[in-house]
Each structure stands twice: as C-alpha cells, then as structure tokens.
Copies of this chain bind each other. A is one copy, B any other.
Amino acid sequence: MSEEADLTQEERRHEERSRKHKAVVDARIAAAKVDKGLVLVLTGNGKGKSSSAFGMVARSLGYGRTAAVFQFIKSKEDVGERAFLARQPGVSWENCGEGFTWETQNRRRDIAMAQAGWEKAKLALADPEVSLVVLDELTYLINYRYLSLDEVLPPIRDRPPMQHVVITGRAAHDELIALADTVSTIRDEKHAFRAGVRAQIGIDL
C-alpha cells in the first residue's frame, strides 16, 4: 500500500481543506498582477520598525539591488546596522541626526540637520538607479515640524515608479499614511526595557 493510500481520515480531511484553501489563496494571488514601487510606513510604539526596514535592505541586496538609507535621528556612532550594511556594495548611508530632540536640546540645530538630510534624501528619491530608499525615523521630523509636509510629500510622490520607499517612526502623520501603499502599526505589548534590561547589542543597537 502506498504512503498516499495510507492516509488517516484526519489527514484526508486536512488535504481536502488545504486544497480548498489553496484555491482561494491562488485566486487572490492571481488577481494581484501589478508591479510598482511601494511606499511602506512602519509606525507605532513597538520594537521592530527600523529593524524591519533594514531587513528589506538585506532582501534587496539578495537581488543585487541598491539601497539608500537616511537615518534622521541616530548619529553615526550608535548603530550596528550601519556597521554592517553601509559597507555592502550598492548601499549608501547617511546619518542626518544627533539623537532625539531631548538629547540635542537645540531646536535650531536639529532643524538645520533635518533640512540638510532631506536635501540628500531628495537626490536619492529622484534617482532611478536607487531601488530602495529608507527614511528611518522620518515621522518625527514631520511631527516636530522640522520639515513640512509640503517639503516631504512631493519628492516621495514623484519618485521613479519602481522605486520602493520605507518610512519608519512613531505616530506617522495621516498624510504619510494616505500616501502609503502598505502601513503596519507595531504595538508594544511587552518590552524588556520595562523589566530593567538595557538596549542590547545586535537587537536594539
């Protein structure tokens, strides 16, 4: 008796259910035919927003594609992701910040850095050779009014049609969410920090 003929009743039911489910999923997949550059927004107060953006950089590199990363809050010294990804062929990396506003305590200087960073980001957003643009912690620059929506939205909207953009940060503005193709809100259910664990190398840094 073959293995196939030897299925239990439960296994047979599972096979039948799976076949039906597959038909539904396949139909949905067949209906999705469009290829386009996406705007993804990763927001919310939970852990995983920036790391998800960097995972997409890794994915892109798997296809030999290029990525331009702009970190609008973090300074150069902070970051493991920079140490590894910035040295990869096809990746450009700019740190356009000096820490959060309560660290720098100088609004004028923060605004100047944000504006200078955004000028560089605009060049990437106009460059069809760049497959993926990461705008890490961009939401804060809008929420703190370091950059206006009128400055931020048009270069994203008018970018090359196949270029992907990933935007991270808490409390994404409604206009960013409206512009996005995909939005994930990452909710903080539990965080080691509240149990007295400091930021861990390779996880948080």
Contact = CB atoms under 8 A, between A and B. Distances in A.
Question: How many monomers of this chain does the complex have?
Answer: 2
A39 to B, nearest CB: 9
A154 interface: no
B58 A57 contact: yes
Contacts of A120: none
Contacts of A35: 197-198, 200
A195 interface: yes
B84 A61 contact: yes
Interface in A165-197: 177, 180-193, 195-197
29 contacts: A3-B108, A11-B107, A15-B106, A18-B107, A21-B101, A22-B102, A34-B197, A34-B198, A36-B197, A38-B197, A38-B200, A38-B203, A48-B49, A49-B52, A51-B55, A54-B55, A55-B56, A55-B81, A59-B80, A59-B201, A59-B202, A60-B80, A63-B80, A164-B200, A182-B191, A183-B189, A184-B186, A186-B186, A186-B187
